A and B are shown apart, each in its own frame.
Chain A
């Protein structure tokens, strides 16, 4: 209510002829749906570089006008991690500074070079760390390695030279969630963001008077999405919008407590317009989905207790680290480096787990599911293939510390500084892991 009041107050003061960010404070800018038009478009003085009357030189630059961290910062001390920043100060010489669960896009600018143990000069490109959105104003360029989305599979793939924030997010925020959990682009008005644990609960019948809706999670695109700036052959159509709830504070380091985004699935029949996380990713990466390449890819959207390998949820709950693979407890086993999708249809169930103070650390139960985001971040990470952990080396830690240049195997160090490791693991001390921690694949497989 306070933010709505602010919206009205400022909009009124801005006047009818004012064009620009005549909205509320920036946090309430989107308000779960289409924002004030002038925040992104300029009616009379747009950028000369694009044809959509945008303020930015391109679509993603327009987003980053507000979502790029504008101040200097050191990842270890930058305590003003504004919730809405998704891109920080990462570069060839500086460590990214933002810690949203999706990841800081500037990891795609941070590459590494080292001489491997055979004496061969080796590199890990920044581009390999995430989705290479194009935002020329902010020095984000086209993916140099992939012409289309990797493992496109059943479709022609999404062209890398078109990838922008609005490839995945609907900038106009038309997708909305109703009281029954279904998603549509029309119906009851959106009254607020639906992304947070504190988001209001939508009410009424979607198409009857007095009903209310909230925005789809993170303005993600859904069924029938067809962005104006890129029209794929046959349309860039998602199977629906996936379910999730984020804690109210989420852009933070996890030094003392984890940030838990509660991801959802609904194996027993999702409401209209809703899909699973992995199905949603498969829009562009269809060949990676186990439904398409059955037996050839790691399963997704599958219950953890339905694996041919046994009940993997039990392994997840028992696993603490390499040094203790059986001593865990299902009430405290959650690890944000290996999240899972709760097979819960109710958003209230997700909201209860969307915490940032370790008050909800319960692990998976029975048919909770593995998904793409169990291993990958959505935007970018400090590791190759935007994995949540370093999966390029046998060991994550060496003698209770992150690998150290000049001391440990250079192929474990991979050109990284101590700050790189700490930032990539969101502020975690190496002691959280085992003395000689192996890959976090073992959280579900315990082969270490």
Chain B
């Protein structure tokens, strides 16, 4: 039989439980507070650029976005408007990837007579130096990169099909390399099917990539230690055909899923947080998201298929450190004006 005292006890337990639930949902854990908001698509003066599966890069220092598409490098300002493009009709070879170099230089990954070359260009895209890889060990003699990142005065080069990563000095001299078959313990007999996707660095210098063939995402430290996660399936948090991967300022990992047409979010402990996007006609929807990039204001750039171009979303985390969104934009605009 229930008594008044019993009711109070029950009520206290209930309150305690609610408090515990509230605590569990506190900003300290981050989960439940992560929000994304569609901002705009990268555009030119005549409207949205209808690219399909363009490759992305960020110049965080200058707050610019590079879109590499059909042998051209298109540069967008911090408001997502095109400010410059180059590449078409010039002798760069096939531009596969680009990144911001030191002091405003642009680095282009291309090929010269079958050899990979990093072209160091000035801010107008004028070639200034050809950097060839040097000192590669014999097992990497056939290294054929198609991704490039410049970070902390080092070149990170990835061969997605070859499943190899090489780190070089800015002059192209070899520092270290990883054969991902060997390093991750993968079956080399499946090399006809295997390739990695993603290939970004987080703020700690960890290399982020996915391997869609085995439904896995990887966080690999510069010393080679790695964490892997992911399992196949269509339920929220599971992987269909995963692609690009980035990390935000709070250590959340965001992964594009081409089949789900969504971006999956995992916290720093690799716990699933949410998915967003999904196929549809709305501006916040996505069609075959592939490459991802993120800027220093936690704005995520999603390169998609079907001519849907590159959608930009602001990420917020429910605390004062959130930089994206309207507030972030106005701050950024002020910064630009004062500069």
Contacts and interface: CB of A to CB of B under 8 A. Distances in A.
A65 B259 contact: yes
A66 B241 CA distance: 7
A80 B96 contact: no
B241 to A, nearest CB: 6
A13 interface: yes
B300 interface: no
A249 B163 CA distance: 18
B144 interface: yes
Contacts of A71: 146-147, 160-161, 195, 197
Interface string B221-237: 00000000001111100
B147 A38 contact: no
A10 interface: yes
Interface string A123-161: 000000000000011110000000000000000000000
Interface stretch (A88-96, A283-291, A292-300, A370-378): A88-96
Contacts of B111: 74, 76-77
B88 interface: yes
Contacts of B161: 71, 73, 78-82
A401 interface: no
B161 to A, nearest CB: 1
A79 B192 CA distance: 9
Given A14-B238, A137-B287, A138-B52, A21 B97 contact: no
Contact of B279 (A48, A80, A93): A48
Contacts of B190: 25, 27
B162 A93 contact: no
A43 B233 CA distance: 12
A14 B146 contact: no
A229 interface: no
A25 B55 contact: no
A55 B259 contact: yes
Interface string B69-106: 01110000000000000001000011011000000000
A268 interface: no
B280 interface: yes
Contacts of B238: 14, 18, 20, 22
Contacts, number: 169
Given A70-B258, A73-B146, A94 B71 contact: yes
A74 B94 contact: yes
B146 A78 contact: yes
Nearest to B198: A71
**Size range of the chain A interface in the assembly:** 35 or more
Contact of B142 (A17, A38, A79, A92): A79
Contacts of B159: 79-80
Given A71-B146, A79-B142, A139-B52, A94 B193 contact: no
A23 B241 CA distance: 12
Nearest to A84: B193
B255 to A, nearest CB: 14
A407 interface: no
Contacts of A77: 111, 114, 116, 144, 146
Interface stretch (B23-31, B166-174, B211-219): B211-219
B65 interface: no
Contacts of A46: 279
B297 interface: no
B195 A21 contact: no
A42 interface: yes
Nearest to A13: B231
A22 B192 contact: no
Contacts of B6: none
B281 interface: yes
Closest 7 CB pairs of A and B: A80-B161, A20-B234, A18-B233, A19-B234, A14-B233, A137-B306, A83-B192
20 contacts: A14-B238, A17-B235, A18-B232, A21-B234, A26-B213, A27-B190, A38-B233, A38-B234, A49-B279, A57-B287, A65-B241, A65-B259, A65-B288, A71-B147, A72-B96, A73-B161, A91-B70, A92-B70, A94-B94, A248-B192
